[in-house]
Structures are given as structure tokens and as C-alpha cells.
Amino acid sequence: MGKVMFWFVAVFAASSLLLCAAAEGGKRVVVVWSEGTEPKNVYPDGIKGAIAEGLTKDLPDWEVVKGGLNDPDQGVPDDLLKRCDVLIWWGHQKHGLVKDELVAKIVKRVKEEGMGFIALHSSHYAKPNKALMATLVDDPNKAACSWGHYVADTTTTDVKVTDPKHPIAQGIQDFTCANEERYGDPYVVPKPLSVVFEGVSHMKNGQTERSQLGFTWEVGKGRMFYLQLGHESKPIFCDENIRKIMANAVKWAAPEKK
């Protein structure tokens, strides 16, 4: 009887240790958020669905979670935010509906705890993006997060790699993607650590315009990346080059494993 009890206790202890090790070495978590105004004929599952599809393929060791404005807790409940290593954000028409309380929690997770944050296209005006940029300056006018102009007269954009040694540019060669809307320099934000990509937009009238496309910053303990591309009228986030950029950006922005 004593031997049986000893065996049972030993097996139970070993199992507990394995479960603890598995929990500590669990998958990293990326949350992909979009507000839900994307056209269904372009993005049936929203932009979050298209990005998540690419990340699930390119980052098989990661847990990919989708969230949106109409989900409980606006798609980012406290328990998920606590586990999140990188938060990707696409917003456009409903920036004002995002609760300030949630924004404050996101800023804290990035600045004090090292969570990565990736803002896309019109998310330059998203509350979390603007709040994070504001922490880097003493004058709010230097973090207005505004572009020189916004014009929907474009057919394609040639994406140029301007910092080929940056991890976000790993495996990326210059490429062209369909694009209907261009943002023109300057982008009023704190000086970035790097401008990883620039672009040349081709207009319907035959003219072209060059602008900056991909920026990185460090905000406290966290890393940030902003990609100008991503207008919802074209399936840009189904482009294999864009998906590679997204996967690279997630890996770069993620905090080091403890």
C-alpha cells in the first residue's frame, strides 16, 4: 500500500511540474483589433480577420486573437490585455467610441510593461496611437499624428525598403500593391527611431508622390510600429508582402520572454 501511495504522489507531482512548465512556456499572444466598419465585400471577416489569417500561417507558435469595437469590453478585456504581447490596431470612423479607460490601460501596458503596439493606416488618429505618441513629447502639437493631406486618387503604391537591416524589413524586397488612398508628408509625430519603408504613389492622372510609410518608436519599455498603408477599399492585408511585414513587425515589437 505504501509503495502504491508513493507512486501516486510521485506521478501527481511530476504531472504538476509539467503543467506548470507548459503554462510558463505558453504561446505568445498577438491581438488583432479592427472597429468593424470595413466593407464586407472586401474583408468578409474584417481587417482583423485578414491579418489574423496571415499571422496564423506565418507565426504558428503564437496565439492569434481577434477583437473589435462591438465585442465585450470593446474587444480587449483585462485578462486578454494582460496576456497580450503585441496589440495591432486598425480604426477609421469610430475613434471617438473607444473608451478612455481602455486607452489608459493600453498605454500603461506599452509604456510600463513592454507590450508592443502596431497602428495601421487611419489609426494614426486612433486614441491609443495618439496617447502613446503624446508620451514622447512635452508639446502636444508635436504629436498631432496628422498628415499633410489625404487624397483618394491613387491606383498603386510602390513600396521601397529604406532600412533593409531593420528586422521588420527582413525578407522584404521592393514591391507594388493596389492602393486607392495616399497620405502626404509631413506626418506630425515625434522623431522615429527608423523609417523602414517609403512609398511612391501612382495617381490616376499619371503623376506620382513620394511619402513615408513605416515608422518605429520606443515608448517607455514598449515598441511601436506604424504602417501608413491599409485603406479598407482594397484587400491590402491579403497581400503576401504586407502579411510578411505584419509578421515581422509582431516579432520585433514583442517584449523579450522572461
Check which CATH number belongs to the domain holding 123 and give it.
3.40.50.880
Residues of the chain above pLDDT 70, percent: 90
What is the pLDDT averaged over residues 157-173?
98
223 strand-pairing partners: 218
How do residues 197-227 score in pLDDT, each as one tens digit? 999 999 999 999 999 999 999 999 999 999 9
Spatial separation of the C-alpha atoms in residues 88 and 118, rounded to whole Å = 5
Tally Cβ neighbours within 10 Å of residue 12: 10
Q: Give, in order, the Cα–Cα distances in Å from 73 to each of 80, 137, 165.
A: 10, 30, 39
CA torsion sign, 237 to 238 to 242 to 244? positive
Q: Which residue has the cell 488612398?
A: 181
In a domain, 8, yes or no: no
Kindly tell me if the per-residue pLDDT of 232 is higher than 70. yes
In a domain, 12, yes or no: no
Kindly tell me if the per-residue pLDDT of 83 is higher than 80. yes
In a domain, 36, yes or no: yes
Angle at 244 between CA 242 and CA 246, to 5 degrees: 70
Residues of the chain above pLDDT 90, percent: 89
The predicted pLDDT at position 256 comes to 92
In a domain, 2, yes or no: no
The predicted pLDDT at position 179 comes to 95
The predicted pLDDT at position 106 comes to 98
Quote the number of domains for the chain: 1
How do residues 241-256 score in pLDDT, each as one tens digit? 999 999 999 999 999 9
C-alpha cell at 207: 503623376
In a domain, 117, yes or no: yes
How do residues 4-62 score in pLDDT, each as one tens digit? 444 443 434 444 433 443 343 589 999 999 999 999 999 999 999 999 999 999 999 99
The predicted pLDDT at position 31 comes to 98
3-state secondary structure the chain: CHHHHHHHHHHHHHHHHHHHHHHHCCCEEEEEEECCCCCCCCCCCHHHHHHHHHHHHHCCCEEEEEEECCCHHHHCCHHHHHHCCEEEEECCCCHHHCCHHHHHHHHHHHHCCCCEEEEEHHHHHCHHHHHHHHCCCCCHHHHCCCEEEEECCEEEEEEEECCCCCHHHCCCCCEEEECCCEEEEEECCCCCCEEEEEEEEEECCCCEEEEEEEEEEEECCEEEEEECCCCCCCCHHHCHHHHHHHHHHHHHHCCCCC
How do residues 136-154 score in pLDDT, each as one tens digit? 999 989 999 999 999 999 9
The parent domain of residue 121 ranges over 27-253
In a domain, 40, yes or no: yes
Specify the pTM: 0.90
In a domain, 19, yes or no: no
In a domain, 9, yes or no: no
Kindly tell me if the per-residue pLDDT of 160 is higher than 90. yes
The predicted pLDDT at position 25 comes to 53
What is the pLDDT averaged over residues 103-119?
98
